[in-house]
Amino acid sequence: MHVDMDAFFASVEQRDQPELKGKPVIVGAAPGHRGVVSACSYEAREFGVHSAMPISQAVRLCPDGVFLPVRMGRYHELSQQIMEYLSGFTPEVHQMSVDEAFLDLTGTERLLGPVEKVARTIKEHIQSELGLTISVGVATSRYLAKLASEYDKPDGLCIVRPGDEEAFVAKQPLKALSGVGKKMLAHLNALGITTVLDLRQHTKDELNRLLGPGAAAYLFNACRGKDPGFYSDVQRSHSISGERTFDRDVKSREVIDEVLLEISQNTMFRLLSEGSHSHTVTLKLRLSDFTTFTLRKTLDHPVSSAEEVYDIARELVAGKWDGVTPIRLVGCGLGNVGKGAGGTQHDLFDQRPEKRRKVEEAVFKLKKAGLSVKKARLLGGKSDRQPGDAGQDNPRR
């Protein structure tokens, strides 16, 4: 099962401020400043606004939109409630980001009942208790479950039964296949490939000549409803991670850094929620040609803060990415997670990691108590506010 909150950041803002329901809500940088759209409501999408779009372009497309700062603490609070609820159905919950997760329901039918009943129970609970809508997809692989959750958004429910995989994928437009962005779609169309069935007419060798080995291997399997391996490296409970697949491939380091900061904060929050520790920071990059890298750095002390996760993730990006090739997906997380605070072995004269962790734990406790606490670096002045900054509580129109 893939559970995906609908337009999560914007939906939370509309939930907390009912007067914004039905209005185009755009969450991200302030108009007039550098930065990007972090998320937007479905009303804003009708104007062509999408995530990772420069805020200046969003203002041109939707001048009457309601522009709001990112309130990451609030989104994490609701996300945590949702993930805790989902963990009551299966111990195998893998949170991909603040607003989506995979659930492995294998072997639970005798206990929980048919999967459709489970899906409807989850949807109804989140709607009635939290006032949010989610879309749910169920299938025999993570790849198809995610594709199914996108099929009937928002507030959708799509179940792909065993044996129906090929027929389900055949109904999808090419652009619905995860990873087929604007450029890839144009390239396929130029080759006379306009539908999933057209794609199936080509052998793997033919696709390899036309598209290159990475894209060929992925599309050959994806168009047949076979798991192309996108999520085969999803880790179990011994790791905590998140990732973001961009609506359009990106080359902006600013956008990539914003996403890494968001995921780092979410990852550290989850680590502290578990009362666990980790010495290993991981990074995942998928380029526009589907080439995927997984990198890691192991420290001699437990990871102490979201800032440390973020700094190491940025370091790993800088060491691997050429800064030119468009990026399709970025993710980061913590590996080899263990219970407890973990052994600490810092330099005698450098107590910064331990101090960072204590600060992080204090912030975590305040958030758990319902207080709004933000990192100082997210409270930039008016002249240097960055994407995802907070600091204004009122809507910006």
Helix axes 253-274, 306-320, angle to 10 degrees: 140
100 is catalytic: yes
Dig out the tokens for 94 from the structure.
């893998």
Place of tokens 């302030």: 30
Host H or E run for residue 97: strand 93-97
Cis peptide leading into 154, omega within 30 of 0? yes
- Here the tokens at position 355 are 């101090």
Which one, of 172, 154, 292, lies nearest residue 231 by Cα?
292
Q: How far apart (Å, rounded) are the C-alpha atoms in residues 201 and 106?
A: 33
Do residues 174 and 193 touch, judged by C-beta distance below 8 A? yes
The residue written with tokens 């101090």 in the block is 355
Show the tokens assigned to 116: 């459709």
Overall residue count recorded for the chain in this entry: 397
C-alpha–C-alpha distance, residues 157 and 234, integer Å: 23
**Cβ atoms of 318 and 308 closer than 8 Å:** no
Supply 395's token pair: 């809507």
CA 389, chain centre distance (Å): 18
The whole-angstrom separation of Cα 382 and Cα 374 is 16
User: Looking at 43, 100, 243, 258, which residue is catalytic?
Assistant: 100
| Selection from 322, 336, 244 nearest residue 282 by Cα | 336
Give the distance from CA 392 to its chain's centroid: 25
Nearest alpha carbon to residue 273 among 354, 207, 339, 181: 339
Q: What is the DSSP letter of 55?
A: H
How far is it, in rounded angstroms, from Cα 354 to Cα 242? 24
Nearest Cα neighbor of 5 from 57, 70, 66, 81 is 81
Task: Measure the N-to-C terminal CA separation of the chain; round to a whole number of Å.
Answer: 38
Catalytic residues: 100
